[in-house]
Amino acid sequence: MRFPFSKPKIEDLDHYIARKEYDKALAAVGDALKKNPQQFNLLLRQADILALVGDRSHAVGMYRDLAKRYARDGFYAKAIALYKKVLRLDPSQEDVHEELARLIEEDQKSRRPIEMRLGLRPVPSAPLEETAQHLKELQASQLFGQFDRKTLEQILSSTSLRSYRDGDVIVREGAIGSSLFLIVSGHVTVSTEAEDGRRVFLAELGPGDFFGEVSLLTGKPRTATIEAKGHVAAIELDKQSVDRIAGQHPHVRKILEEFYTRRAHETVEAIIRKRRQD
C-alpha cells in the first residue's frame, strides 16, 4: 500500500530541525514564504537552516540583508547579532562593523520617533504586549546610537554574541565579573541567595534587558545569579575592551554611566533592593 505524500508543515519546523531533517525544514519555510514573502521571522529561520546545511554564501547574504533591515528600523541589538553570525560563517567579512556603524549613524540622523519605527501610527495594530516588547528593545538599542561612528565601529568589533542553553549559569552571584550583557532573544532568571542559604527568585528578564552593568563599570562582584531559561542569545561587552576604547575616546565611559543612570530603576541591582525592602 502506498501512503499519500505529506507536505512538510511550518508547524513542525522545530521538529524537523531537531531531527536534522533540513530538507523538510527548508520546504516548510519555503512554502510558508510563498504566502508571506516578507515575513521577517521566516526569512531569519530560512537563513539559519541554510547555515546548518552548509550553504554559507546564501546564509551570509540573507543575514546581511536582514541585519540592514533591523538597523534601519532601530533594532540595533538584533542587527549586531546577525552580523556576528555573518562573521562566524565567513570571518573575512570584516567590513560588517563598519557597515553597521554607518547604518546606525544614518538611522540616528533620521530622528524618527520610536512610535514611527514600530509602524504604530496612524493605526495601532500590534497587540499591546508585543508593542511594549518592541519598545523595550528599541530603547535598549539606543545605547549604540549615542557613539560617534568611528567609536561605534570599535565598540561593535569588541562585542561578542553568546549563546546559552536551558539551565546554563551565565553569571554567578559573588563571582568577579567584568562584562555587560544585552539579551537579544530568550529569557533568563535572576536569583539571589538568602541569609539562610535558600535561593530566592527575583525576576525574569528577556529581549532588550541588560545585566552586568555594575561589574562592567566598577569591576565589583556579581550581585545575583543569572540563569538561562531555554535558549538565550546575548551580546557581551567586556570591561577590558571598554577600558581600551575609553583610553582613546574618554567620552565612552561617560556615555555608559549616563545610560546606566537613566535606566537605574530597571537594573538587577534595583530589583534586589526592591525585594529586600519588600
Asked whether residue 62 is domain-assigned, the answer is no
| Residues 59/89, Cβ–Cβ less than 8 Å | yes
**Is the model's pLDDT at 2 over the cut of 50?**
no
Count of structural domains, the chain = 1
**Is the model's pLDDT at 51 over the cut of 70?**
yes
Q: Where residue 258 sits, what CATH number does that domain have?
A: 2.60.120.10
Q: What is the mean pLDDT of residues 5-12?
A: 83
Q: What is the mean pLDDT of residues 97-125?
A: 73
In this prediction, residue 221 has a pLDDT band, given cuts at 50, 70 and 90, of confident
Total-model pTM? 0.87
| 128-132, 190-194, 218-222, range with the lowest pLDDT | 128-132
Asked whether residue 180 is domain-assigned, the answer is yes
Domain span at residue 206? 159-277
Omega of the bond leading into 122 within 30 degrees of 0 (cis): yes
Question: For 181-215, how does the pLDDT look when each residue is reduced to its tens digit (9 = 90+)?
Answer: 999 999 999 998 887 778 888 889 999 999 988 88
Asked whether residue 195 is domain-assigned, the answer is yes
For the chain, the DSSP string reads -PPPP----GGGHHHHHHTT-HHHHHHHHHHHHHH-TT-HHHHHHHHHHHHHTT-HHHHHHHHHHHHHHHHHTT-HHHHHHHHHHHHHH-TT-TTHHHHHHHHHHHHHHHT--HHHHTT-SSS--S-HHHHHHHHHHHHHHTTGGGS-HHHHHHHHHH-EEEEE-TT-EEE-TTSB--EEEEEEEEEEEEEEE-TTS-EEEEEEE-TT-EE-HHHHHH-PBPSSEEEEEEEEEEEEEEHHHHHHHHHH-THHHHHHHHHHHHTGGGSHHHHHHHHHH-
Asked whether residue 223 is domain-assigned, the answer is yes
Q: What percent of the chain has pLDDT over 70?
A: 88
User: How confident is the model at residue 115, as a pLDDT?
Assistant: 58
> How far apart, in whole angstroms, are the C-alpha atoms of residue 25 and residue 273?
46
Cell 553568546 belongs to which residue? Answer: 162
